[in-house]
């Protein structure tokens, strides 16, 4: 069985500061993918970044980077230079080959960016 854990229910961060959102996972499948999605108050799920279990380098997409520590089973999201528009719910999710690729989501972290 797979499990995703996000231990931070909510965080405040000042504009222009960096913020790290924690995510740990558990799976027995050696092949899996880790995703981060953003969900603003409007409700749509917006894809941010992907990391494959066999990827040697940490993924980066603009201001988003993923700190992937495979041995510790963690996949933390780092948002650099936070903007007011980054205020949203952030979900970590995992797909594994033994489960038809369905997403297992964490409980989410609510981020509020303050001026």
Partner 1 sequence: GAGVSQSPRYKVAKRGQDVALRCDPISGHVSLFWYQQALGQGPEFLTYFQNEAQLDKSGLPSDRFFAERPEGSVSTLKIQRTQQEDSAVYLCASSPAVGISYEQYFGPGTRLTVT
Give residues in contact with partner 1 (CB under 8 A).
Answer: 4, 31-33, 35, 37, 42-45, 47, 50, 52, 91, 93, 95-97, 99-108
For residue 63, what are the CA distances in angstroms to 15, 17, 29, 71, 78? 13, 11, 30, 25, 8
Instruction: State the minimum distance, in angstroms, from the CB of residue 16 to partner 1.
Output: 28
Q: Given the complex with partner 1, which of 77 and 108 has the nearer CB atom?
A: 108
Q: Given the complex with partner 1, which of 56 and 115 has the nearer CB atom?
A: 56
Candidates 114, 112, 103, 113; CA nearest to 45 is 103
Q: Given the complex with partner 1, which of 93 and 113 has the nearer CB atom?
A: 93
Instruction: State the minimum distance, in angstroms, from the CB of residue 77 to partner 1.
Output: 14
Tokens 């952030």 belong to residue: 90
Q: In sequence order, what are the residues at sequence separation of 6 or more whose Cβ sits closer than 8 angstroms to the Cβ of residue 61?
A: 48, 49
Instruction: State the minimum distance, in angstroms, from the CB of residue 71 to partner 1.
Output: 20
Instruction: State the minimum distance, in angstroms, from the CB of residue 105 to partner 1.
Output: 3
Structure tokens at 2: 């797979």
């Amino acid at each position: 069985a797979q499990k995703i854990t996000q231990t931070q229910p909510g965080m405040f961060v000042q504009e222009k500061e960096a913020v790290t959102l924690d995510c740990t996972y558990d799976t027995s499948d050696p092949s899996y993918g880790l995703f981060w999605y953003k969900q603003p108050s409007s409700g749509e799920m917006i894809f941010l970044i992907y990391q494959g279990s066999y990827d040697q380098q940490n993924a980066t997409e603009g201001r988003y980077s993923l700190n992937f520590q495979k041995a510790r089973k963690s996949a933390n999201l780092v948002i650099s230079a936070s903007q007011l528009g980054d205020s949203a719910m952030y979900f970590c999710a995992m797909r594994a080959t033994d489960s038809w690729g369905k997403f297992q989501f964490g409980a989410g972290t609510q981020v509020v960016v303050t001026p």
